[in-house]
Structure 1
């Protein structure tokens, strides 16, 4: 299978998993679980900031971030909208890339000011796996407050994507 096809599958999965998690997060009582909800939103915001940093790096643009999270915690709905827009950006970006571009080396500066260099494919893999790791932490917070987290696995996504509509 082509690199591009695999990466598209990963980013379709990422967008689906984000949607599932944000929808569930919207059902959590802010009155009853304010601290846990705040912590979960901070984690989701961190994922979004890192996504934005790498999107800028892949375009050789300045990202403007000086840390891996923002000082303020956004509202869940606002963050959800921004994450959905960024997820679509990655899908569109991938769709436009020739399969040969994923080995291209891209030089950038990390938030701490140190120089970095990764291939386009490595950057995309980092974005996909980084988000997955942190969504798991949010799932753990949900579980601890008695909310069953979404079944955030690639196999569930692929099964849902391929089963006939009812």
Structure 2
């Protein structure tokens, strides 16, 4: 029996590590399927697999910019450019964008002085809340998990299996 790692990570880092691991499992899996699977239009929550991937990437970017303190207006302008850059792109281009976003998260998580910081989160319709940064990272993780479930359902609809990305599988993978 293997023992769990004795290295303790901050919960925000652990959550993001899982999110990256699970997304990478999907990218690895999607590369094994026929290329057209990612662009095939189906009746689902999203029209294509690539649209789900772009949506997850967009949300990751929005949440990172929020944690960094960017305003809603600044984020809205930047996200418009981000989406425009990714619309209609293939799997490789979307995965490359994930890599750039992951590097920004890594920089943030490595260099942010207080991952337990309470941040003010403002939204024009929802209002303002003060929330621990780690809970925003929980949202990053939960949002990705939810949409990886969409990917699994869509792939099944297209005649393929999804990728196993349960959190316990991540823990096992990290301790082998």
TM-score tier after normalising by the smaller chain length? 0.7 to 0.9
Counterpart of 1:129 in structure 2 is 142
Distance 1:156 1:87, change over 3 A: same
Distance 1:120 1:140, change over 3 A: same
Which residue, out of 26, 40, 43, partners 1:34? 40
Is the CA contact 1:12–1:91 (under 8 Å) kept in the aligned structure 2?
A: no
Q: Matches of residues 1-166 of structure 1 in structure 2 within 5 Å?
A: 5-31=10-36, 34-36=40-42, 39-61=48-70, 62-63=74-75, 64-65=77-78, 70=83, 72-98=87-113, 100-108=114-122, 110=123, 115-117=127-129, 118-163=131-176
Is the CA contact 2:15–2:141 (under 8 Å) kept in the aligned structure 1?
A: yes
In the alignment, the residues of structure 2 paired with residue 149 and residue 59 of structure 1 have an alpha-carbon distance, to the nearest angstrom, of 33
How far the C-alpha of 1:101 sits from its partner, in A, is 4.0
- TM-score by length of structure 1 reads 0.78
Aligned length: 158
Distance 1:156 1:79, change over 3 A: same
How far the C-alpha of 1:26 sits from its partner, in A, is 2.3
- Which whole-Å deviations, capped at 9, do the CAs of 1:72-121 have from their partners, x for residues lacking one? 333211111111222232233223334x542412243x3x6654333322
- Which whole-Å deviations, capped at 9, do the CAs of 1:39-60 have from their partners, x for residues lacking one? 1111111111111111111112
How far the C-alpha of 1:4 sits from its partner, in A, is 5.6
5+ long unaligned stretches in structure 2: 1-7
Alignment root-mean-square deviation, CA:
2.9
In the alignment, the residues of structure 2 paired with residue 52 and residue 42 of structure 1 have an alpha-carbon distance, to the nearest angstrom, of 15
In the alignment, the residues of structure 2 paired with residue 121 and residue 16 of structure 1 have an alpha-carbon distance, to the nearest angstrom, of 18
Distance 1:95 1:133, change over 3 A: same
- Which whole-Å deviations, capped at 9, do the CAs of 1:16-44 have from their partners, x for residues lacking one? 11111012222332446622596111111
3-state DSSP class of the match of 1:116? strand
